Amino acid sequence: MDTEEKHPQTVTFSHGLEFIERNHDEDDWFLQIEAFDPHEPYFTQQKYKDLYPHQYSGKHFDWPDYGKVNENAEEVDHVVKEYAALLSMCDHSLGRVLDAFDRYDLWKDTMLIVNTDHGFMLGEKEWWGKNIQPLYNEIVNIPLFIWDPRYNVKNERSDALVQTIDIAPTLLDYFGLEPTPDVEGTPLGEVIRSKVKAREAALFGIHGGQLNCTDGRYVYMRAPVTANNEPLFEYTLFPTHMNRRFNIEELSNMELVAPFRFTKGCQVLKIKANTLVNPYLQDTLLFDLEKDPEQLHPIQDPDIEALMVNHMAALMRKHDAPSEQYERFDIAHKEEK
């Protein structure tokens, strides 16, 4: 790839900018620019690499494997700088959009949301990647910034606890549309304008992993209570994995079960699930982000743990979690009086 203009990210942003050029004078338009980068492999142009000069004579290394860090300090430093170079390229692409906002004064009537889907461990706590380790903040505390022209709030950082499920109702609110009954997120307009709380606590995680909850100060990662990480099932009407269909063995004991509240009356298939990594081995972890923002020193505090379990139970009930998940994590199903 000889020129930056041919880089997939640059091409994607160029198409988005063409849309802005055609529609900046129109009303009620929506544009989503979704770029794969920053993502491994960390390929970018030399001018961005030159921003992070360093001596390196090792193997070609721009794609760390998901797992524990086995590389030496020089290799770790190199891949971190390769990532930084790619991130600088992403900043440049985003800057082209911000320049268009300046050029057409879109700030006065156009909402802008910038966010990512997840982060990535670059050697922190001796981990590479995502999904296989405890979901530390390097992975889940993702970038999010919003410009809402209705309120003209700028140069402010909020400590409100928000989630990506809030983006859809935020957009609906901006365009004057009501969310459907199954939308669980919170419009963030009032959070921006009045600094109200979006929620007391939030669940996060991946299927079959630890059950994670935060209230903004504490992060609680609860491991399953049995070594086999069971009971654990998948519920679907589309039995496929990321890159293949479920096999015959997986489907041999499936059953059709009653709907969840959010499946609009449709029954779903219940299929025994397996996970790549067993979260039982990661143990239960509790962190105080105020005192330990890097999550290096888990604490033991029965009172805080009980508080976080109560948050978990309430949110699980709210989202109609499968009944066996309460058993897997030894959490009371019914609300305590």
Specify the fold of 202-232+273-329.
Answer: Arylsulfatase, C-terminal domain (3.30.1120)
pTM of the prediction?
0.93
| 38-72 tens-digit pLDDT | 999 999 999 999 999 999 999 999 999 999 999 99
The fold adopted by the segment(s) 4-147 is Alkaline Phosphatase, subunit A (3.40.720)
- Of the pLDDT bands very low, low, confident and very high (cuts 50, 70, 90), residue 123 is very high
| Averaged pLDDT score across all residues of the chain | 94
Whether the predicted pLDDT of 336 surpasses 90: no
Task: Give the whole-angstrom CA distance, residue 215 versus residue 264.
Answer: 30
- Read off the pLDDT of residues 166-224 as tens digits, 9 standing for 90 and up: 999 999 999 999 998 889 999 999 899 888 899 999 999 999 999 999 999 999 999 99
**Interatomic CA distance for residues 252 and 256, integer angstroms:** 12
pLDDT at site 277: 87
4 confidence band (pLDDT: 50, 70, 90): confident
Q: Of the candidates 151, 234, 137, which has an alpha carbon nearest to the alpha carbon of residue 188?
A: 151
The 3-state DSSP class for residue 12 equals helix
pLDDT in tens, 143-158: 999 999 999 999 999 9
Residue-by-residue DSSP string for 289-312: TTT-TT--S----HHHHHHHHHHH
Sole residue written with tokens 């009356």: 265
**Of the candidates 138, 134, 140, 143, the residue with the CA atom closest to the CA atom of residue 124:** 138
Domain boundaries, the chain: 4-147, 202-232+273-329
For 68-94, what is the mean pLDDT?
96
